[in-house]
Amino acid sequence: MAVGLQGLPELHPVRGVRIGTGKAGIKKPDRRDLTVFELAPGSAVAAVFTRNRFCAAPVQLAKRHLQTTEPRYLLINTGNANAGTGAAGLLAAEACCQALAERTGVPVTAVLPFSTGVIGEPLPVERIVAAMPQCLQALSADGWALAAEAIMTTDTVPKGASRRFSVAGKDYVLTGISKGAGMIKPNMATMLAVVATDAPIEQTALQDALAEAVRLSFNRITVDGDTSTNDACVLVATGAAGGETLAAAHEGFAAFREALQAVCLELAQAIVRDGEGATKLITVAVSEGASEQECEQVAYAIAESPLVKTAFFASDPNWGRILAAVGRAGIDDLDVTKVRLYLDDLLIAEQGGRVAGYREEEAAARMAKEEITIGVCLGRGSATATVWTCDFSYDYVRINADYRT
């Protein structure tokens, strides 16, 4: 069961966005696995994609379409990644875009495709095309919750977040959904996220705000250290609520940026909470670094250590594993006598070794919690970085061993 997730919060409709889902039978019969987002004309769209060099066909095509035409539709399928499929995969993605474009009367480049699921399998284009009328018929402003379910793969729960914010007395909505549970590693992760607002946002400011929000959220999570071929995060600003267009210099832009970062962080943490087989949410907070980059290095060395993650699953305060991860993080001039290590508020190690008066039972009590923070003070400066991860349980191996069966 996902750590601390009790179901979807209220997801406020976004003016200018309608969503419909359908059942294409891509991997499993009788489950929602196809989603269409309809965007109001004039919507601004920003996106961030995987940096994996084997990026999937839909990622390649979505990037291409974004550069040519104002997006009007997002087409998302689960159950098949359409990655590692070569030229045939690109043709398949194009065929799906063409089919949706013909049914909606928009240019093919106005459709952005997204896929998630098994890598290396041909995309079942015929099934996807056959289910498109279901999605179009179901288009509704209230389709967020069903869409959150339809984009799931190994997720155990749907993930969503929603905020309201105001600028100059005018009220706006920001709502988003995401999926992801395994193959999670920054740049970005095997995840999909769609976030939309009805506020009018200038295109460049929208892209910059998304890049910053992703840097502090989706690019600060890791489940297993694997970067996917398919991940993408899309941000839409329909402008349907009216008002003055918000650029970065606008005094009201901060309210939008704050809401966006809050939604992205909530969605990102939900992915880690639902990490495959996860039983604990682990926050790795590194401070007193010489730079943010070295703080991130240390945080990821800890967060991606199988030895650290399995110790947390067992609630075993084997703090030496954390210390070892700090030491191998690549900071060659690290003075280990200045490093302090905490489990929540409990000081575990300082001056190169275990703190005087250490009591195993106190550390074990912290380790037994569902949510715990590893604090590392490097004693080198004022920079900080925070990363979120989860433990490794028996179920992680089972889920991934059985992924294609």
Task: Identify the CA nearest to 153 among candidates 78, 98, 211.
Answer: 78
The three-state (H, E, C) secondary structure of 160-212, written as one string? EEEEEEEECCEEEEEEEEEECCCCCCCCCCCCEEEEEECCCECHHHHHHHHHH
DSSP H helices, 185-280, are 203-215, 253-273
Phi, psi of 142 (to 5 degrees): -100, 25
CA distance 217 to 213: 6
- What's the DSSP call for residue 20? E
Q: How many CB atoms lie within 10 A of CB 355?
A: 15
Q: Single out the catalytic residue among 21, 78, 85, 190.
A: 190
Burial class of residue 2, CB neighbours in 10 A (0-12, 13-18, 19+) = buried
The alpha carbons of the chain give a radius of gyration, in whole angstroms, of 22
Segment holding 366, helix H or strand E: helix 360-367
Q: Which residues are within 8 A (CB) of 72 and not within 5 positions of it... i.e. 6 or more apart?
A: 38, 39, 41, 43, 104, 106, 110, 111
Q: How far is CA 11 from the centre of its chain?
A: 17
Task: Identify the CA nearest to 282 among candidates 270, 272, 292.
Answer: 272
Phi, psi of 234 (to 5 degrees): -115, 135
Strand 281-289 vs strand 371-377: parallel, antiparallel, or unpaired? parallel
Which residues, in sequence order, are bridge partners of residue 17? Answer: 39
- Residue 190 among the catalytic residues: yes
Is residue 203 a contact partner of residue 178, using CB atoms and an 8 Å limit?
no
Q: Which residues are within 8 A (CB) of 76 and not within 5 positions of it... i.e. 6 or more apart?
A: 34, 35, 36, 37, 113, 114, 115, 116, 147, 150, 151, 192, 194
Residues marked as catalytic: 190
